[in-house]
Amino acid sequence: MPSRRVVVSAHNGVHARPVAELVRLAQSHGAPITLRTADGTAVDLSSVLAVMDLGIASGDAVVIETSQSDTADRVLDQLAEVLDPRR
């Protein structure tokens, strides 16, 4: 299963604007994408409320994963860049 481990670099953590971008990208992918926190909590990345409820802060590590597809690597890289623009 393709995945990316990302350390969130935004000093405000993951707030409304990046969550909206993450959800938009996830929904455009067409396959389920999961966001998993360091404590093992996993949510569907297409749900704004589920992602916001995680309370991801700057410096937190997360894993984004999806099923294998022709576009999996591209969408995972795009999602990772939203969480860590320095990538």
Catalytic site positions:
15
Neighbours of 41 (CB within 10 A): 12
The dihedrals phi and psi of 64, each to the nearest 5 degrees, come to: -110, 130
Structure tokens of 25? 């990208």
Q: Is 62 helix (H, G, I), strand (E, B) or coil?
A: strand
* 9, 58 Cβ separation under 8 angstroms: yes
